[in-house]
Structure 1
Amino acid sequence: MANRNPVLLIPLITPLLDDGSIDGAQLSAIARDVVEQGAAGVVLFGTLGEAQSFSLTERKAALEALVASGCSPDGIMVGIGAAALTDVVELARHAIGQGCFRQLLLPPFFFKGISNEGLEDFIAQAIDRIGDDRLRLTLYDIPSVVSVSIERRIIRSLIDRYGPIIAGIKDSVPDAAHVRDSVTDFPELAVFVGNEIFLPEAIALGAAGAISGLGNIAPAQMARIAGSETKADDPVFQQMCTLYAAIARHPVVPAVKALAGWRFDLEKLATVRPPLKTFDLKAAPDLIEILQELHRR
């Protein structure tokens, strides 16, 4: 049965000050803007937010700034992904202390070829050490970035062990069949689509909506696509697919941040932290043209 109330969550870009530190005020302004444009909430420190480029201290301070600015903790999903188990636990407990119980967990990403048992142990020990039944965990499946897949039997085992603490999946696997199976195999979970081109089919099957990086640059349009049973031939969806394909030809995080800078008329939003390199839109003028056309729809 289709989910009749799918939503858009936006994994925020992380704006930087001239000295390379996080601009908490601008981060809060972007969060307020996208919610006003129709997003149901935001994700702090997902892949697009360059999470692994920031220290625990920086990540905690950014969340505190977001909450202090008036952003509702209920509308914030906090990325707690880290290579070290203890760092995951520290980030999770801090987020709970801020009233943010919805959290996004990336698999440990440094060691490659880890066993299914090792991955499940990592997640299970994180939950046990966090030690709070209010935790609502979304598992982030993005093997193209971290080289670690979260197999379905691990997800099912974790559901059996922890019940409602395992609340959802963000499926960022670039395979429509994989996304389809995530939705149909786990009807008890909120399955969010990471690759926006799969949204119409996934939402028709019952997906919870999208965690969409494109929401940073076209929030109203993405809210429309993610928040309803959009058809594949919808003109807004088709133009979004054109933008998706165009961005995919470039380093995605820097390109999206550059387009956000264009959207807000604030060039410094394009700045990324090393090892990423800031993207110059002059090298890809078609991106602005495609985004402008999406905004007109």
Structure 2
Amino acid sequence: MKDALYGGINAAVLTALKEDLSPDLDRMAEHANWLLANGCNGLGVLGTTGEANSFSGSERKAIVEGLIQRSIPAAKMMPGTGVSSITETVELTQHARAQGCRGVLLLPPFYYKNPSDDGLFAHFDEVAKRVGGGIALYLYHFPQQSAVPLSLNLLGKLLDAHPGVFKGVKDSSGDYANMKAMIDAFAPRGFEVYSGSDEYVQRILAEGGAGCITAASNANCHWGGIVYAKRTGPEADKAQAMLTATRKAATAAPLIPNLREVIARSRNDDAWRRIRPPHLPLDKAAADKAWEAWVATGAIPLPGLSGASRAAAE
């Protein structure tokens, strides 16, 4: 897809934490800079992997502002701003717009289960009207986590009601047939479809999707960048095989603590293991197993790390 605002490889960025579990913006910015220098085109901050729903609205605003203050380009960030409250969703979205972000990612209102398409339309329609334009709205289809799927019918109604406002979707369902159906139905209208699963990056790009927004990009972005740049051929195929292998390694243990463990060991920095409850760090046996799974892929040491970090990883 041409001219996608976040076209390419986007990491669902981990949120670094201090000892008191407050956001560690210096560490997070350092990681974000590494991601942008090593294959990422953009940064999905405060999504599932970034533990967005473990942070207050004021903390979420401070994270976005703090990254920008530390020279992370606002235009590269797609903050997650969707919560169950219309009022707070609008507030967070308008805040992202004021900081210079080009788009935001909206979860559906996830507390009340089995809402109708009409109910979901009313929610997103009200959000769009109150936000007032000036920022692209991306929808987050992750029914395994939110328990609120987003149907093709709903997407079509939103695009008809708000042309150019609902700009795309992140599909983390793992169901490629659903991603392809979204591409076929809406990509001709400029709607950007992003895979939340690394194993589909090469395929979705070939079939009209915009790229990916994935958790494993925190560690495998080097190979994602090759797939996005090359698309086809032996080098792209080899890089896609690495994306698929590292995705399997990332999901072999609970995803967020798994990735924190990989980054902690790769950077020789124990602080990356800090995580907000109810999530917990991996115990030693699980951590060793997770690390061994990543090592077995050939991805470790991670390309682009400093000499000290490389030495620690080895």
Report TM bin, short chain.
over 0.9
Measured after TM superposition, the shift of residue 227 of structure 1 is: 4.0
The question of 1:163 aligning with 2:169 is answered no
Measured after TM superposition, the shift of residue 295 of structure 1 is: 5.5
Matches within 5 A, 1:70-219: 70-131=71-132, 133-187=133-187, 188-219=190-221
Partner SS for 2:79: strand
Quote the residue 2:13 is aligned against.
12
TM-score (norm 1): 0.93
Q: Distance in 1 between matches of 2:17 and 2:140?
A: 25
Quote the residue 1:221 is aligned against.
223
Contact 2:294/2:300 (CA < 8 Å) preserved in 1? Answer: no
Quote the residue 2:34 is aligned against.
33
Partner SS for 2:23: coil
Measured after TM superposition, the shift of residue 231 of structure 1 is: 6.3
Pick the aligned partner of 2:296 from 280, 285, 290: 290
Contact 1:171/1:182 (CA < 8 Å) preserved in 2? Answer: no
Measured after TM superposition, the shift of residue 184 of structure 1 is: 1.6
Q: Distance in 2 between matches of 1:224 and 1:9?
A: 13
Cα distance change, pair 200–288 in 1 and its aligned pair in 2 (3 A): closer
Partner SS for 1:163: coil
Q: Distance in 1 between matches of 2:300 and 2:200?
A: 18
| Residues 36-60 of structure 1: per-residue CA shift (max 9 Å, x gap) | 1121111110111000000001100
Q: Distance in 2 between matches of 1:290 and 1:83?
A: 40
Partner SS for 1:148: coil
Calculate percent identity across the aligned residue pairs.
Answer: 26
Partner SS for 1:217: helix
Cα distance change, pair 283–92 in 1 and its aligned pair in 2 (3 A): same
2:227 corresponds to which letter in structure 1? Answer: I
| Residues 70-103 of structure 1: per-residue CA shift (max 9 Å, x gap) | 1111111111021211110111111111111311
Q: Distance in 2 between matches of 1:236 and 1:290?
A: 15
1:220 corresponds to which letter in structure 2? Answer: H
2:156 corresponds to which letter in structure 1? Answer: R
| Residues 174-226 of structure 1: per-residue CA shift (max 9 Å, x gap) | 11211111222111211111111122221111111111211111221122124
| Residues 114-139 of structure 1: per-residue CA shift (max 9 Å, x gap) | 111111111111111112x2120111
Give unpaired runs (5+ residues) of structure 2.
304-314
Matches within 5 A, 1:235-246: 235-246=238-249
Cα distance change, pair 102–219 in 1 and its aligned pair in 2 (3 A): same
The question of 1:44 aligning with 2:45 is answered yes
Cα distance change, pair 285–27 in 1 and its aligned pair in 2 (3 A): closer
Query: For this pair of structures, how many residues does the alignment match?
Result: 295
Contact 1:28/1:71 (CA < 8 Å) preserved in 2? Answer: yes
Quote the residue 2:56 is aligned against.
55
Q: Distance in 2 between matches of 1:231 and 1:264?
A: 32
Measured after TM superposition, the shift of residue 243 of structure 1 is: 2.1
Partner SS for 1:164: coil
Q: Distance in 1 between matches of 2:59 and 2:218?
A: 21
Q: Distance in 2 between matches of 1:271 and 1:96?
A: 30
Cα distance change, pair 91–202 in 1 and its aligned pair in 2 (3 A): same
Cα distance change, pair 267–178 in 1 and its aligned pair in 2 (3 A): same
Q: Distance in 2 between matches of 1:291 and 1:202?
A: 23
Q: Distance in 2 between matches of 1:143 and 1:206?
A: 23
Q: Distance in 2 between matches of 1:118 and 1:84?
A: 14
Contact 1:12/1:44 (CA < 8 Å) preserved in 2? Answer: yes
Q: Distance in 2 between matches of 1:93 and 1:68?
A: 18
Q: Distance in 2 between matches of 1:174 and 1:25?
A: 33
Cα distance change, pair 49–291 in 1 and its aligned pair in 2 (3 A): farther
Cα distance change, pair 294–113 in 1 and its aligned pair in 2 (3 A): same
Superposition CA RMSD, Å? 2.0
Give unpaired runs (5+ residues) of structure 1.
none
Cα distance change, pair 220–237 in 1 and its aligned pair in 2 (3 A): same
Quote the residue 2:275 is aligned against.
272
